[in-house]
């Protein structure tokens, strides 16, 4: 019954490695997002897809690459991980415009050592 | 540009009422949303105000005054479980699927 699920919940890896985070939503929403939340709790939008089309692409290093195989899935691949990538990454979904409530996944805590 | 300002921290006691303010500067305004996030948890949607006035949902209410570029979240009958971070957010003027977020207010409810 989980609405927005992302895996893994925890990810510990070394600098230079490549890793992926997966997200799936079963709410039938047309838009999915990746957010990064650092230790100061600021929620920073990274990417958004609407019906598999990239509609938001913030100033994010090109080591980060999102992929949306269908409107229920949005994955995030990160190449050459750096210490500064350590954060919690949230997937979210919504239906319609930004006025519509965002439904967040439980987050992936990424620690780069 | 657009920005939302809210206090970084608020402290209150159980049973009290607390108001968390959100002031916005924006070239176009499209309503104000509020989210709650417990430590270690995900943000969860609380309320949305499209028009001026008060929206009430149980112990929580949200208010908006577009003429004053100001809104607030009112929490009544505070409980320990209300200790969390609270974020205000508003739709971006140039991209209707993008939210601009405040930096969050950390609410500590003490016994």
Residue indicated by tokens 């996030």: B37
Residue B95: its pLDDT value, please?
72
pLDDT band at residue B98 under the 50/70/90 scheme? confident
pLDDT (average), residues A69-86: 96
Tens-digit pLDDT profile for residues A54-77: 988 887 899 999 999 999 999 999
- What residues have CB less than 8 Å from A75, skipping those under 6 apart? A20, A21, A22, A23, A66, A67, A68, A69
pLDDT band at residue A98 under the 50/70/90 scheme? low
pLDDT (average), residues B68-90: 96
Contact yes or no for A99 and B92 at CB 8 A: no
**B3 contacts on A by Cβ (under 8 Å):** none
Report the gap between the CA of B15 and the closest CA in chain A (Å): 27
Query: pLDDT over 70 for what percent of chain A?
Result: 97
Residue A22: its pLDDT value, please?
98
Are B79 and B14 in contact by the 8 Å Cβ rule? The answer is yes
Residue A56: its pLDDT value, please?
87
What percent helix, strand, coil does chain A show, rounded to 5? 5, 55, 40
Residue A37: its pLDDT value, please?
97
Contact yes or no for B97 and A102 at CB 8 A: no
What percent helix, strand, coil does chain B show, rounded to 5? 5, 55, 40
Closest CA to B66 of B50, B46, B52: B52
Tens-digit pLDDT profile for residues A23-53: 999 999 999 999 999 988 899 999 999 988 8
Which two tokens mark B97? 């699927």
Closest CA to B74 of B93, B94, B55, B48: B55
Chain A residues 47-106 with CB within 8 Å of chain B: 48, 50, 55-56, 90, 94, 97-99, 101-106
Mean per-residue pLDDT of chain A: 93
């Amino acid at each position: 019954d989980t609405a927005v699920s992302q895996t893994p919940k925890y990810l510990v890896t070394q600098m230079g490695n490549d890793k992926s985070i997966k997200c799936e939503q079963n709410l039938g929403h047309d838009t999915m997002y990746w957010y990064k939340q650092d230790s100061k709790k600021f929620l920073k939008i990274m990417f958004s897809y609407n019906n598999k089309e990239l509609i938001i692409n913030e100033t994010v290093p090109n080591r980060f690459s999102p992929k949306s195989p269908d409107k229920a899935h949005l994955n995030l691949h990160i190449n050459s991980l750096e210490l500064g990538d350590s954060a919690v990454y949230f997937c979210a979904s919504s239906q319609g415009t930004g006025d519509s409530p965002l439904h967040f996944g439980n987050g992936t805590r990424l620690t780069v050592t | 540009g657009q920005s939302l300002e809210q206090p970084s921290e608020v402290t209150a006691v159980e049973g009290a009422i607390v108001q968390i303010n959100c002031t916005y500067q924006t070239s176009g305004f499209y309503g104000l949303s509020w989210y709650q996030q417990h430590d270690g948890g995900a943000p969860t949607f609380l309320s949305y105000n499209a028009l001026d006035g008060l929206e009430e949902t149980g112990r929580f209410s949200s208010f908006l005054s577009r003429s004053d570029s100001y809104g607030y979240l009112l929490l009544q009958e505070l409980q320990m479980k209300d200790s969390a971070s609270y974020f205000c957010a508003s739709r971006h003027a140039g991209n209707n699927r993008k939210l601009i977020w405040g930096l969050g207010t950390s609410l500590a409810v003490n016994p």
